Amino acid sequence: MARVAVVTGGTRGIGEAICQRLKRQGHQVIANYAGNEEKAQAFTAATGIPAYRWDVGDHEATLEGCARVEADFGPIDIVINNAGITRDGTLHRMTFEDWNEVLRINLGGCFNMAKATFPGMRERGWGRIVNIGSINGQAGQYGQVNYAAAKSGIHGFTKALAQEGAKFGVTVNAIAPGYIDTDMVAAVPAPVLEKIVAKIPVGRLGMAEEIARGVAFLTSDNGGFVTGSTMSINGGQHMY
């Protein structure tokens, strides 16, 4: 059955792959983006997927953005909380703004999107929320106390909200990607990236499409008995 799906941070990288995968599944997909108008327009021109602009870390803007989507396309049944930023640095050098912005967007965005869409899913008796966490939220990472805290928070948020949604037919899950071949990872200096890949048992970076396949399963009817779960897709780099 075709559903209305919103993918935050959906116009590039992992978000773009998720958008395209869900579109192939037959859903009406809307990509959210924060700021790069030119790239968003290019994304829509290339994929035919509409892009709506709002800051997921802004509560009122998120409520208004989701209301616009629902007015244009109907009730939102699938939400992929993928939007995220990094502001890396050791605690010694990290400013409060570096800390606050990452928590506001990466973790706060999940709360804001849920507030906008979860009540409707519950009333209709069906919904799928997938939150994109990170291997660094599971294992920690030097120089990322803000990012690791936000992503770890996503995993706890997922388990708690899953308990609220289960009896209403709403599943809430997370995916924790490892190092994926995206622009964010491409920005890592080559010598550092070589050391990262050396620690991945399968011997390569992941592909954005591999994350999208996980999302496709979790958002399908076949994934209806999976909730409160974190799916690790990391090439065996972190196991627990």
How many helical (H) and strand (E) elements, i.e. helices and strands, does the chain have?
10, 7
Query: How many CB atoms within 10 Å of residue 140?
Result: 15
Q: State yes or no: is 147 an active-site residue.
A: yes
Asked whether the beta carbons of 84 and 55 are under 8 A apart, the reply is no
Of 151, 225, 135, residue with least CA distance to 185? 135
What H or E segment, with its residue span, contains residue 18?
Answer: helix 13-24
Cross-sheet strand order for the sheet of 170-177: 51-53, 28-33, 4-7, 76-81, 127-132, 170-177, 230-233
List the structure tokens of 27.
Answer: 């859903």
3-state DSSP call for residue 197? helix
The residue with tokens 């208004």 is 64
* Residue among 52, 142, 147, 240 flagged as catalytic: 147
List the structure tokens of 45.
Answer: 């021109």
Catalytic residue positions, numbered: 147
